[in-house]
Structure 1
Amino acid sequence: MATRKGKLGAEAGAGFDSKGIGLRAQKKILGKMSTKRMAKVFIDDSTGELLDYLYKLTKEYTGSKKESEKLMKDIIKIVVKIGILYRNDQFNKDELILAERFRKKFRSTVMSVISFYEVDYSFDRNYLVRSLKESRDMLNSLIDRHLTDKSHGRVEHVFKFFADEEFLDTLFESDSQLRQHLVRIIAVLNRMIDEGSI
């Protein structure tokens, strides 16, 4: 893997870089904010609602408040850092093309999840796992030049959990205890698609 630049900054020894310093300052502030506060500042209401339902779902599945909180914190930090990079024009032309490919792939994956929920016996675990892994790979490529190994670890943690075959099988069982959470998640996802935020 290529050597990454130090924490959202410019090449060392390249002279004074106000934009790089600004980015590092944003990242430092980000690291000091609580996850809930960070979510309110950087994440819209629908996304916040989705994260709340995902938290309840993952907590019920894992039986671990700590693991569920870690998953949500990792999602929020990934989303916010990518948002900061995007708003500060840090992505080059190829990365912007990759970001658009990721957005389309992620939207397609979300639409598949909705379809698997709404249409009986349509669940295709292998397709969903493959689609999530392709999304993970695109996201890792997108952040590779900008973020640290710790951020890559967060991406891996989130996608490893949600692409887990046993988790997906449990989630889409018709009599699953997770169904109550999935109903709410699907409602928010449908709304976000209508709003154009996915």
Structure 2
Amino acid sequence: MATDSTPKKVKKASVFLKLKKNLAGKISSKGAKLFIDDEWSETLDNIHALIEAQSDTKTADKIMKNVIKISIKIGLEVDEKRFNSQELEILVNLRKKLKTLMLTLISFYEVPYSYDPELCSQLFQDMNKVIKNLLEGHVKEKSLQRCDYVFKYFSDPKVMGSSLEGDSKGPVKTQMGALCSSLRVIIQNNKLVEI
């Protein structure tokens, strides 16, 4: 029985990237704050508080955990220059769609009775499609399912309506105000480039 004594070549970058992705999957929202700036940290805190006000802590924790995992995986792919030119175009489109979504949410919040549930739902669904299109072939199916979970929550017109409809009041409306303030800071400080 002959054995091949030549060492098997292992692509270090691939192994290292898999390790980083695995670690990214284990990072909690508190741990992720070590890697992001104050503006994004405040925004994530406001998103968590909004979800918690709309539903419960468990749902908020699960959604934020998934948002952070997805964001880190996109960041790792960018850092490792793993996206081809077509995927880089998708990334640029993602940033544009994210900015449009942020500006739309701010507008819905600031202009009473302007909330359009169909438009809002469609914007979140479009974000989901773009992110999944970007990550397809780079992550496991479970990560793509995380995208579906997050965006299914936000694309529900009742969820966003509870904080954006003209007659909404209380802690949900207050949290949406805090979120819109932090989104405005992100846009004004051009922090979308750092995604």
Scaled by the length of structure 1, the TM-score of the pair is: 0.87
Q: In the TM superposition, what is the alpha-carbon distance from 1:153 to its structure 2 partner?
A: 1.0
Q: Deviations over 1:159-182 (max 9, x none)?
A: 001111111221113333211101
Alignment root-mean-square deviation, CA: 1.5
Q: In the TM superposition, what is the alpha-carbon distance from 1:25 to its structure 2 partner?
A: 1.8
- 1:38-49 to 2 correspondence within 5 Å? 39-49=32-42
Listed as ranges, the gaps of 5+ residues in structure 1 are 1-13
Q: Deviations over 1:116-156 (max 9, x none)?
A: 11112221111111111111101100000100111011100
Tell me the residue number matched to 1:7.
none
Tell me the residue number matched to 1:61.
54
Tell me the residue number matched to 2:169.
176
Q: What is the number of residues matched between the two proteins? A: 183
Q: In the TM superposition, what is the alpha-carbon distance from 1:72 to its structure 2 partner?
A: 0.6
Q: Percent identity?
A: 30
Tell me the residue number matched to 1:6.
none
Tell me the amino acid that sits aligned with residue 108 of structure 2: F
Residues 59 and 96 of structure 1: is their aligned pair in 2 closer, same or farther, counting only changes over 3 Å?
Answer: same
Which residue of 118, 142, 150 corresponds with 1:150? 142
Bigger CA radius of gyration: 2
Q: In the TM superposition, what is the alpha-carbon distance from 1:41 to its structure 2 partner?
A: 2.9
**Distance of 1:71 and 1:32 partners within structure 2:** 14
Q: In the TM superposition, what is the alpha-carbon distance from 1:15 to its structure 2 partner?
A: 4.4
Listed as ranges, the gaps of 5+ residues in structure 2 are 1-7
CA contact (8 A) 1:136 1:159 kept: yes
- 1:22-41 to 2 correspondence within 5 Å? 22-37=16-31, 39-41=32-34
**Distance of 2:86 and 2:144 partners within structure 1:** 19
**Distance of 1:95 and 1:191 partners within structure 2:** 28
Does the alignment pair 1:19 with 2:23? Answer: no
**Distance of 1:129 and 1:31 partners within structure 2:** 27
Residues 20 and 183 of structure 1: is their aligned pair in 2 closer, same or farther, counting only changes over 3 Å?
Answer: same
Scaled by the length of structure 2, the TM-score of the pair is: 0.89
CA contact (8 A) 1:71 1:157 kept: yes
